[in-house]
Each structure stands twice: as C-alpha cells, then as structure tokens.
A and B are shown apart, each in its own frame.
Chain A
C-alpha cells in the first residue's frame, strides 16, 4: 500500500482540491458539481464520531439530486437570506493520502480554514475534509471524480448560525 501511495501524484491531487475550492469561492457551482460522480454523497456530521448519516441527524448529508436543488437555491433572488450574496474564501493544506485501493481509487484528507462573509458578518470555519476520489478516463472528462466527501468541522456539535455554503 505504501508503494501505491508513492505512485500517486500528490501535486495533481492537491491541484484538484484547489480547483474544487476555487469553484466554490468563485460561485461556479456548475463546474463544482461536475467534480462529483452521479452517485456521490456529501456529508457534514454533527458529531465527530458519527457513523450513521441516515438514522441520525447531520448538518448536511446530500446525494447528487439534493446538491443540485441546493445549487439552484444558492443566491436565489427569492431567498431573503441571499438578498446580499454570500462570499467565501478557502485555504486548504496538510493534504495527505489515507487509504489507497489503487492509483485510481483512494482517500485523501486535508485541513481547511474557510472564511465566510454572509448577512453582513464574517465567520471562520475550520476542520478536515475527507475525499474519496476515483480517476475516470472518459474523453474530455478524464480526471478525478469525488465519490464521497465528509467534512468534519472542529465545532460540529456546537451551536451554529446559518451555513448556506459547501466546504
């Protein structure tokens, strides 16, 4: 497995994570959602050791359909909370490979700091993101795809104000 790790181009993985963050920060949600596979899930648990996204509440747990609805709702002109648009800035670091099934199927974890400007206030979030990635060869769409993303906020169990964004 370590050998496999050595074969993965960590710089390419980092570049992929930076692209994802950049799509979110620039509001390019069409490009963002296309980084996800059709059967992808996106999970933000409410406790650090949470294992069950279906039978226990989470801050966020979405399949592709719900992600699409949320993207369509994002900055919607009829939503009072988006009368003034939300803005974010990500910093991603400490990128490290976890489980490596193969060069085309592995899990990568990174740390993030995210600053959000929303409803006139600036707020700081921090935590880890765990991406399960696969490399897909498909013509012009060749590249990594996210099969599952888990976002663990360091204060996931704490009271939060509105969180209208992806991380």
Chain B
C-alpha cells in the first residue's frame, strides 16, 4: 500500500497516536526517508576525530556514514558506500587513515570522499567514465554543521540551519561547555552500545517521561533502602546512593521539575530542579569555575539543571552529567542506543568519575535502571501488534497548565506534552511527501 499524506495525518491526533507509528514496517521505511533525512541528526563530536585522517563510522537513520577530518582540518560526513559496486568501505568503528580504500575492487577515496584512484584504468578509457562525477565518490551528506563541537548532518540540501533547528536546546550545549573550566570538552573511552528490541521513538519518548521512574525503577530504590538498613548505625551512606535514589522520587517531585518543549520536537525536563540537583560538591571544581566565570556566572551555570535535553529525533544530552545518548534506528523493532562520555577539560577527574559511575548504574546494559526501561519498551513493541486497540494514549495534562514563553512551552513534569510535541514535528516531516519527490 502506498501511504498518502492524509493517511499519515490520520495517525496522529491531539491526545493519541496510532499504534502503527511503532510497529508498521512501511511507516519505519518512510521515517528513514522523511524524518531521518530531513532532520539534523547527531553524527559525532569533533573530539572523536582529533587529527587529520581520524574517522568514526556510524549511521544517519539506516545510512552508513563516516565522519572524518581531512588534512586542511575540515570535518566531512560521507556515505560509507563505495562509488563502484556499493560495498561498505570501512568496517572499523574508528581509526586513522590517509585515505579510504574499498577492499572489493580497490577503488580509493580522498578524505573528502572524492575518488582518488581506480586500479587498472585502461578499461575505463573511452567509456564515458568520469572520475570527477560525484556518483563515483563516497558521496557527501548534503549538509554538515557543527554547533560548538557537536556535529550534525541533514541529508537534504535546503532547510533550516542547525542553530535555528536547535533553538533553546543550544542553551544546554552552552551550559555543558560553560561547566568546563577551559570551555572545552572531549569524548573519552569507548561508547556503551545497548541494543533495544523496540522502535526508536519509544526510547526517545521515554527520555522526558516523568511518570514512569517511580514505577519502572521502584526496585532499585527498594534495594538501596534495604542496603542502608543493613549498614551499621552511624555509617554514612555510600556515595552512589545520591545517583540512584532520585530515580525513586515522587510524582510531585517530577511534576515540579516541569517539562519544556520547543519547535522541531525538542524538549527537556527540569531547568531549576532535576534528579541531579543534590550531587555533592567536587573539591577544587568551584574555584576553577570562579576563576573562569566569576562568582555570579558560576552560580548561574551550576544552577542550570536540565534533565535529558532531547534533540529530536536522535540525541539527548544532560548538563550535570557528562554523557550523551544517541538513538540509531536499525529496524522498526530494533534500535541501538549509544552512550558516550565526555571530560570537562580542566575540571577535577572526580567529576568525570561521577558521570562514569552514573552511566554504569543507569545506562549500561548491565545496570539496574536501563534494563527495566528496555523491558517496558519490548512489552509495548510486542503488545502493540494487537489490533484490539489501535491507539496509544497521550492525555496527561492535555491543555492544562501549559505556559507559553516565546518558542518554549512549559508544563508539569509528568505531562505527556513532550510526546505530543514530538508528534507535531513528526507529522511535519512525515506528511509532506518524499525528499526526492
């Protein structure tokens, strides 16, 4: 069946979405064409390709790409597809190379994707083959922009620029950089790669779902409480407790955090308060911040507490925790979630150590939090195959206590507002024809 725009519009209503958006193969393929080609999708951070020839391979939607720095220091995002027979040119997750060479017939490419050499040239003479024709290159992704080190790409030539797309989400990235006493960050170590048996939107929607932690993650709080109960009298609680306990916070706490949404489907929870607000001070950090920013600005920077700034459709970043997570859709029911960690250059190591501990406890496939989210997504993926009820509910706080401030709308933290906002963006991408049409 060929879906027309009206069919797609019929899947999204003000207070519900049709189950097809999660389980229908054709919708998934359309999303790859329309959402993941049009939107600015996070590719990587520039610190992952520090030197000329450094590259990482990743995906935009289901398209394999390479992000690489060339000899003139420019960062390119090119398709990881040979211009000859279409083989994936590199299988390495990252590396350093003077050029790319396809292992099948030996076509080699410059770091900007242009064709360098085809072996045994004689066979191409007088055939009309033109080495400069971009169809024979590792093609360039249409648009690549870098916001303060964060590299995003869009696969369509025309559209809003990255800064306009990010809007108020820029303030989260700005805050992250302000938290570094040198104003710089760098990615450290490998990513955690967590394979989910669910549609990519379930992961993205959960990022600002403030009404699930007290249920889904109830066991962790209980386990922590039991452990504290076993401690000898007067013993101080383990430092990890401040990371795990907020996941058991009350509905009221999450309501008070609030949720803020903006154009293009982005959102965040918190702002003033969040589950990261009560972390203990790290010795020596504040002094370094004051030396850079002065007292007043240091206070401002550290007071910003946004929980999961979701940059739709691919990316989420926190400010008090130095981690980013990226959704890489694989199939309608399969999504790879990557967690990357970064160092605030110039800050005490203890801050990075806290992030690493947080991520092991919350984001790792072996953590006590992520697997219960995973399990709930997989349950939805399975049960939404049922045609007993075609609709998925988005009612919470619908039209209630929504406050508009310019481009940003704020609501109570357990509102479904962030999901309703994501589906408005989804419709804009999905119900306006194909990119190539």
Are B374 and A162 neighbours in the complex by a CB distance under 8 Å? yes
Q: Provided the pairs A54-B356, A78-B218 are in contact, do residues A73 and B368 lie with their beta carbons within 8 angstroms? A: yes
Task: Answer whether A69 and B341 are a contact pair too, CB < 8 Å, given A60-B360, A159-B336, A161-B197.
Answer: no
Whether, in the assembled complex, A39 has its beta carbon less than 8 Å from a beta carbon of chain B, the answer is no
What's the A-B contact tally at a CB cutoff of 8 Å?
A: 127
B213 CB → nearest A CB, Å: 12
Known contacts A46-B189, A79-B219; A164/B244 CB under 8 A: no
Size bracket of the B interface: 35 or more
Contact A56 B222 (CB under 8 A): no
Q: List chain A residues, Cβ under 8 A from B93.
A: 157
The answer to the question of B72 belonging to the interface, with a C-beta cut-off of 8 Å to chain A, is no
> Roughly how many angstroms separate A70 CA and B372 CA in the complex, as a whole number?
13
* A80, CB-defined interface residue at 8 Å: yes
B189 near A81 with CB under 8 A, answer no
Contact check, B339 vs A57: say whether CB atoms are below 8 A apart: yes
Q: Give the distance to chain B from A24, nearest Cβ to Cβ, in Å.
A: 14
Main secondary structure of the interface of B (DSSP, over half): helix
Contacts of B195 in A (CB 8 A): 159-161
Is A41 in the interface zone, CB < 8 Å from B?
Answer: no
| B251 within 8 Å of A (CB atoms) | no
Contact partners of B376 in chain A: CB under 8 A: 80
Are B193 and A160 touching (Cβ within 8 A)? yes
A54 / chain B contacts, CB cutoff of 8 Å: 349, 353, 356
Q: Are B227 and A81 in contact, CB atoms less than 8 angstroms apart? A: no
Q: How far is the CB of A97 from the nearest CB of chain B, in Å?
A: 28
Alpha-carbon gap, A4 to B23, bound state (A): 62
Q: Does A72 contact B (CB under 8 A)?
A: yes
Given A59-B366, A72-B226, A73-B220, does the pair A80, B193 have CB atoms closer than 8 Å?
Answer: no
The yes or no answer to A58 lying at the interface (CB within 8 A) is yes
Minimal Cβ-Cβ distance residue in B for A165? B366
Distance in angstroms between the alpha carbons of A164 and B356 in the assembled complex:
19
Assess the A60–B244 pair: CB atoms within 8 A. Answer: no
Say yes or no for A61: interface residue by CB 8 A criterion: yes
CB distance from A156 to the nearest CB of B (A): 9
The CA-CA distance from A163 to B188 in the complex, in Å, is 23
Confirm or deny: B224 has a beta carbon within 8 angstroms of a beta carbon on chain A. Answer: yes
With a cutoff of 8 Å between Cβ atoms, the chain A residues found around residue B189 in the complex are 46-47, 50, 52, 55-57
Contact of B190 among A46, A160, A163 (CB under 8 A): A46
Chain B contacts with A in 339-382, Cβ cutoff 8 A: 339, 341, 343, 349, 352-353, 356, 359-361, 364-366, 368, 370-372, 374-376, 378-379
> How many Å lie between the Cα of A69 and that of B220 in the bound state?
8
Q: Which residues of B contact A44 (CB under 8 A)?
A: 366
Cross-chain contact of A162 among B192, B216, B370 (Cβ < 8 A)? B370
Contact assessment for B366 and A163 in the assembled complex, using a CB-CB cutoff below 8 Å: yes
**Bound CA span A119–B356, Å:** 27
Chain A residues near B192 (CB, 8 Å)?
Answer: 46, 57, 59
Question: What are 23 inter-chain pairs, A to B, with CB distance below 8 A?
Answer: A46-B190, A54-B356, A55-B188, A56-B188, A56-B189, A57-B192, A57-B364, A59-B360, A65-B238, A65-B240, A66-B240, A69-B224, A69-B240, A73-B222, A73-B368, A76-B222, A78-B219, A79-B219, A81-B371, A158-B193, A159-B193, A159-B336, A163-B371
Measuring CB to CB, which residues of chain A are less than 8 angstroms from any residue of chain B?
44, 46-47, 50, 52, 54-61, 65-66, 68-70, 72-73, 76-83, 119, 157-164
